[in-house]
Amino acid sequence: MLTSCSDYHIFQKSKFKSRKECMDSYCEVVDAAFEAGVRPRCHMEDITRADIEGFVLPFVERLMRMSEQVPDELSAKVRLCDTMGFGVSFPGVELPRSIPKLIYKLNQEVGVPSDRLEWHGHNDFHKVHTNASAAWLYGCDAVNTTLFGFGERTGNPPLESAVIEYISLRGDLSGINTEVITEVAEYMLSIGLPIPDNYPIVGKAFNTTRAGIHAGGLRQDERIYNIFDTTKLLNRPPRVALTDKSGADGVALWVNEFFGLKGKDRISKIKVHKVARWVMDQYEKEGRMTAISDEELEAKVKELMPTYWEKYKG
């Protein structure tokens, strides 16, 4: 239920003559919802530009009093909407932009239970994920998210990042099957919705390294350069994109991942020297500027490492 609360929306958009007229109008609709047996969720649009003491708190206090007259399952919920992304999570910020103070005021002073508070943020200043996490930490039970941050203008908190954040805060998986994140990303791509290659957690290259020293570290122990066990949690093993900066370490990592080799079966960089030399020739002799594709590498591995190809792919 749209209950816009900044003066921009009260006077400029909705053309109310006073805040009291606006509040009375909202409460009439809430009453109608109660009478119909419908639980209202009041969407406090543009709360980070609103007069908190002069409008938001009196309105929410009135909602709480009205909710006391109906069964618990109909009690009004309050959704705090940071419509323009002005919310700030760190201490010392004044209202209305302070997320900690907003949550505290509504939760502790007005008495809105945590399970009836929601956060709905936008990403105009790249704070959407941090702000949603702050809302959780300060007493807001629910965070509205969208698949991979899609949404109005700059988008909403990305669901997959919220899932990972929740697991981090709780310290365990909480029964969540994180591999579904990868499945959903594949579905989104299949219907033509773009996900940038470097997008965290699901982008095509999010755990792909191009630097030779990074590839060397990954080859020795993936924990050196991989954010977490992406194979276990996302069904996405770390990868390397081969360029003139990758070196033999990068080639060895690519070959081992391509053949699916683990532990003692993994091939050393010495044994991939022919493929590594071919990669370097592409740049030193051919003047290549782009990364080597997987298809090109697969063909060269088959040509230059026939024994391993027969053993693992034959």
Is residue 164 classed as helix, strand or coil in its secondary structure?
helix
pLDDT at position 238, please?
Answer: 81
User: What's the confidence (pLDDT) of residue 214?
Assistant: 58
**pLDDT class for 163, splitting at 50, 70, 90?**
very high
A 10 A CB-CB count for 208 gives: 17
Angle of the 273-284 helix axis to the 294-304 helix axis, nearest 10: 130
Mean pLDDT of all residues belonging to the chain: 92
> Looking at residue 71, what DSSP letter applies?
-
Residue 211 has a pLDDT of: 61
Whole-number pLDDT of residue 87? 98
| Residue 218 clears pLDDT 80, i.e. is over it | no
Q: Which amino acid is at 47?
A: I
Kindly list the structural domains of the chain, giving each domain's residue range(s) and its CATH number in brackets, ordered by start.
7-144 (3.20.20.70), 208-312 (no CATH)
Tens of pLDDT along 48-87? 999 999 999 999 999 999 999 999 999 999 999 999 999 9
H helices of 110-241, where?
128-137, 159-170, 179-190, 212-220, 230-234
**Distance between start and end Cα atoms, the chain:** 62
Q: What is the pLDDT of residues 248-291, one digit of tens each?
A: 888 888 898 888 888 889 999 999 999 999 999 999 999 998 88
pLDDT digits (tens, 9 = 90+) for 182-214: 999 999 999 999 899 889 999 988 888 766 555
Report pTM. Answer: 0.81
Which range, of 2-11, 136-145, 161-170, 304-313, averages the lowest pLDDT? 304-313
pLDDT given at position 150: 92
14-18, 134-138, 142-146, 218-222: the lowest-pLDDT one: 218-222
Q: Which residue has the tokens 């109909």?
A: 74
